Structure 1
Amino acid sequence: MNNKINKNNDNSVFYISVAVVLAIVVWGLVSNDTFSAAANGLYVFLRDNFGWMYLIGMFFFVLVAVILACSRYGNVKLGPDDSTPDYSYVSWFAMLFSAGMGIGLVFWGVAEPLNHFVNPPLGLAEAGTGEAAQLAIKTSFFHWGFHPWAGYSVLALALAYFQFRKNTPGLISSIFIPLFGEERVNGGLGKFIDVLAIFATVAGVATSLGLGTLQINSGLNYLFGIPANSVSQIIIIVIVTVLFMLSAVTGLDKGIKFLSNLNLGIAFVLMMLAFLLGPTVKIINAFTNGFGQYLGDFIPNSFRINAFGDNSWLGGWTLFYWAWWIAWAPFVGTFIARISRGRTIREFVIGVLLVPTLGSFIWFAVFGTLGVNLGLDIATEAVKVTETAFFVVMAHYPLGSIISLVAVILLCTFFVTSADSATFVLGMMSSNGDLNPSTKRKVTWGVIQSSMAFALLLGGGLSTLQTASIAAAFPFAIIMILGCISLFKELKNEDLDAVNESYKEQKNKKII
């Protein structure tokens, strides 16, 4: 297979996607109660009846990623055999980290460990104890570890392989050519998959932008007394929208690359400040112990579900996260694929799976320990409002105001990068897989994203939108599993002797 699907003059996916997104927004604003009831009802049904599928599916993605990295296909390039990566390791890691986690790390870095410290999972420890603290770190590692990045990696790998090595459009539907054939992928089935991917992306990113706006506003209120109200939120969204529009106009190589590198630098400074000013030895011990417990309990925790009892905690945390990562996979997977041309399959999987996971572990060890170190009373106070948990904790440490200010700056840069990356991906998805979508198309999606975030923020439908996107993205668990099967089916056609010979030649040239 080495052909290109002709969709160049078909804008139906764009128009259908815009119509669906606008219809959802109007429904959420006009009748938030019915929208909320429908979204929550669907999510609860899927969680209660298909929780097992989320657990098995996410573990399957980890297994597939490891198998691919260790397999005989490890030297296959995501592109022609003589292709080389477009970005350095530092820029590559910075961009995939910014797109994959971004705002979430700042938002939950303190809040999640403290939630588990105050309300230990499944009653496995007493609140506020050392056992609860260790459980809190390990649980945070589990939710932000290999599972989400494995989900991103398998979809991104399939996308990169097909678009750069097999010359198909940069669309999620393209990876199904070996399974369903070009005619179906060109037809209604392919359009359905692409529209679903766009909706999941818009809804997921709009939710994150709304949450980011709330936390930026809360941080400014906590630090400078700026009112936490809709006027402040309008100003924040407008300023950030202008910034990411400017970045989107400059393109991938300048705007997103520059901001991602900036994010990495600011995040490192923030983390080092917290590490040095906080309980340094406890942080190191928390990381070491948490990492060991995470690995030791990896398989049991991956399949943990109560067959005969209550699963409310699991549904509110693990299953919610697994569904959320799957909902984000179309966006993050498409973006990671776009920046990974020229990598080998082994290099890709190791880079996407291990490096961001390790970064997340260090982040939660640092900020989670800062939180639990203050004790149960302050932890209980901090988790009352998730947006301000970070700032409440930092107020109890030296230079806490400076750390909080750096965090607000990081939130803004992550906000801009996430929105910028999303407009780029949405432009690709709605432009027949064009790897360099037009500025007009990117700006259109940028305006829609920001408007959607603000409208639902005012209408109180932000959390409902998050629930709706997770419920609507349920088919993506199946789509991602089928994508893995399609990838393996096409990999069987590779001439591995030629692949390995080319790999050795390039490796020898580098050595010389």
Structure 2
Amino acid sequence: MRTASLPTTTTEKARLNPVVFFGSTALILVLTAVLIAFPEGAGTWLGKAQGWLSRSFGWYYMLAIGAYLFFVLYVAFSRFGHLRLGADHERPDFSYAAWAGMLFSSGIGISLLYFAASEPIDHLFNPPEGEPGSQHAARQALQLTFLHWGVHGWAIYALVGLAVGYFAYRHKQPLALRSALYPLFGERLMRGSVGNAVDCFGIFVTLLGLVTNLGIGSLQVASGLEHLFGMPHSQSALLAVILVMSVVATLAAVSGVEKGIRRLSNLNIILFSGLLVFVLLAGPTLHLLNGLVQNLGDYLNGLVLKTFDLYVYTGQSGKGEEWMGLWTLFYWAWWISWAPFVGMFIARISRGRTVRELVCGVLLIPLGFTLAWLSVFGNSALDLVMNQNATELGKAALEQPAMSIYLLLEHYPWSKAVIGLSICVGFVLFLTPADSGSVMLANLSRKDGDLDEDAPHWLRIFWSVVITLVTIGLLFAGNFTAMQTVVVLAGLPFSVVLLLYMLALLKAMRADLGAQPAVQGVAPVGQGGV
């Protein structure tokens, strides 16, 4: 039996939701116009706003991120873990291999290429505490990099994927962000202005993340072509790269989840893994393996401490606070801004999975590879800078991060071929989040329709075009950094939505278990159990 606490929706033909579609489009276009028209003034104001947010809400971000992680682990390993995203008899739409591949690619983007060598080196020379350039700073650099890319971020994705998928497939609500809040706000949320506002803001935050993804991706690929083939460092060359990447991503988005995105995910794994294995075997293999084990130990040992570390007692007034705003708080807001579309995509591919399967899959499948990648490339970069006098690499990591990974690979055999492969890896890494993001934006812009049916092709193409035009405008106006700052600011209100998701899920799961103790073999709420 299924609880009757939530009404189910009837399947109707999918159609555009004009309030969400036009509202979110107007919001992003107005913001873009302001950033392009007033680049200096907007950048200054946004920088001050980010500084204020770091000073005033750093403590809140740290507590919220810790709460997200604790919650998803709790529901996975408590009596709620066996509940399915769907009816009790349903089985998953995708095999474990296909599901794992799409999980891997959903949240692993081109930023891993961008930051793999540059972030550890930056932490080496600009640590939050301690002596810059020291062995202690090098060890701390990998611990901090692991923190920023580790389990906390994936817990945010798991929370959104779980919340959206649970109410969509178990309670037959729309596959939309608003659906996860139904137990708290009722029908007014589902059909009224509050629900439209939630989805509208979700599209806005998602689009910000996708614009920054295209910006970083185009800079990464353009830097590789510049380094390998001497392509001119010009706006016209960058424009050509952006247009090619956008066209291919749009074609993949039109092909849908089952075809384009699934195939790209498989290619993604092959190319990404091949590059990792090459760097591991062609470099100081024993040192890299030792470093991986120690980095993992340092990360796990300091997991609780770093979750709540605000650098209050560094002894250097303002240094820790400034570093937190530039790095840790930026990453937490960045993960939150990507959560709507990555979480919705995870929900879209996880029908029939249990709560425990989804949480464990999201936390473990991409995480293991991410940490291995960061350790191998990070330790390789640190070794070159600290022991082999690779000054050019160290300078690029601080001044031109997109170029750092190519300068690292210059120290390896067959460097030209490997750099060419890394450009291809970057291109594919960009495509998977880009096309899945366009699909999810389109799905959020519509209403009704079958849960397993994606939005019409024209809607996916529209959002791909908007992402492309906004990115071009910001890059050419020289105000792309301002958009990244907006991402940080937009993460704050959506973090509150995630806290409400936790309350809504607990309420619905308790009702579900209470309605079917005989079927699941567990005690109702209030009569034993975890």
The TM tier, using the shorter chain, reads over 0.9
In structure 2, the residue matched to 1:141 is 146
Q: How does 1:446-461 map to 2 (within 5 A)?
A: 446-461=464-479
In structure 2, the residue matched to 1:375 is 385
Match of 2:79, SS state, is coil
Check whether the contact 1:382–1:393 (CA below 8 A) recurs between aligned residues.
no
In structure 2, the residue matched to 1:508 is none
Q: How many residues were matched structurally?
A: 500
Q: Does 1:399 align with 2:378?
A: no
Match of 2:446, SS state, is coil
In structure 1, the residue matched to 2:50 is 43
Alignment deviations for residues 63-118 of structure 1 (CA, whole Å, 9 cap, x no partner): 00110111101111111112111222232222223221211111111111111123
In structure 2, the residue matched to 1:74 is 81
Match of 2:471, SS state, is helix
Provide TM-score, normalisation by structure 2: 0.91
Counterpart AA for 1:200:
V
In structure 2, the residue matched to 1:215 is 220
Check whether the contact 1:274–1:403 (CA below 8 A) recurs between aligned residues.
no
Distance 1:65 1:75 in 2: 13
In structure 1, the residue matched to 2:294 is 289
Distance 1:140 1:89 in 2: 29
Q: How does 1:477-492 map to 2 (within 5 A)?
A: 477-492=495-510
Shift of 1:200: 0.7
In structure 1, the residue matched to 2:526 is none
Distance 1:54 1:149 in 2: 15
Q: How does 1:41-440 map to 2 (within 5 A)?
A: 41-123=48-130, 125-127=131-133, 129-307=134-312, 309-310=317-318, 311-376=321-386, 377-378=389-390, 379-383=393-397, 384-432=399-447, 435-440=453-458
Shift of 1:230: 1.0
1:442/1:294 CA distance change after superposition, 3 Å: same
In structure 1, the residue matched to 2:484 is 466
Counterpart AA for 2:43:
S
Check whether the contact 2:396–2:403 (CA below 8 A) recurs between aligned residues.
yes
Check whether the contact 1:78–1:345 (CA below 8 A) recurs between aligned residues.
yes
Which stretch shows the higher mean deviation, 158-167 or 232-241? 232-241
Shift of 1:126: 4.3
Distance 1:107 1:484 in 2: 33
Distance 1:438 1:189 in 2: 25
Match of 1:81, SS state, is coil
Distance 2:217 2:248 in 1: 15
Provide TM-score, normalisation by structure 1: 0.94
Check whether the contact 2:188–2:195 (CA below 8 A) recurs between aligned residues.
no
Counterpart AA for 2:456:
S
Shift of 1:40: 2.2
Check whether the contact 2:17–2:445 (CA below 8 A) recurs between aligned residues.
no
Which stretch shows the higher mean deviation, 236-245 or 82-91? 82-91
Counterpart AA for 2:28:
V
Distance 2:415 2:363 in 1: 32
1:126/1:419 CA distance change after superposition, 3 Å: closer
Distance 2:336 2:180 in 1: 17
In structure 2, the residue matched to 1:18 is 25
Check whether the contact 2:54–2:324 (CA below 8 A) recurs between aligned residues.
no
Check whether the contact 2:439–2:460 (CA below 8 A) recurs between aligned residues.
yes
Check whether the contact 1:199–1:469 (CA below 8 A) recurs between aligned residues.
no
1:499/1:243 CA distance change after superposition, 3 Å: farther
Counterpart AA for 1:122:
E
Shift of 1:499: 5.3
Check whether the contact 1:95–1:260 (CA below 8 A) recurs between aligned residues.
yes
Distance 2:135 2:129 in 1: 16
Shift of 1:494: 1.3
Shift of 1:498: 5.3
Q: Structure 1: which 5+ runs fail to align? A: 503-512
Distance 1:41 1:189 in 2: 30
Distance 1:202 1:120 in 2: 32
Distance 1:212 1:498 in 2: 52
1:280/1:170 CA distance change after superposition, 3 Å: same
Alignment deviations for residues 166-199 of structure 1 (CA, whole Å, 9 cap, x no partner): 1001111111110011113321211111111101
Which stretch shows the higher mean deviation, 80-89 or 327-336? 80-89
Match of 2:34, SS state, is helix
In structure 2, the residue matched to 1:510 is none
Distance 1:67 1:428 in 2: 30
Check whether the contact 1:76–1:499 (CA below 8 A) recurs between aligned residues.
no
Check whether the contact 2:86–2:352 (CA below 8 A) recurs between aligned residues.
yes
In structure 1, the residue matched to 2:525 is none
Check whether the contact 1:221–1:228 (CA below 8 A) recurs between aligned residues.
yes
In structure 1, the residue matched to 2:494 is 476
Which stretch shows the higher mean deviation, 370-379 or 253-262? 370-379
Shift of 1:469: 2.2
1:162/1:390 CA distance change after superposition, 3 Å: same
Match of 1:133, SS state, is helix
Distance 2:309 2:40 in 1: 33
- Tell me the percent identity: 34
Shift of 1:8: 5.5
In structure 1, the residue matched to 2:3 is none
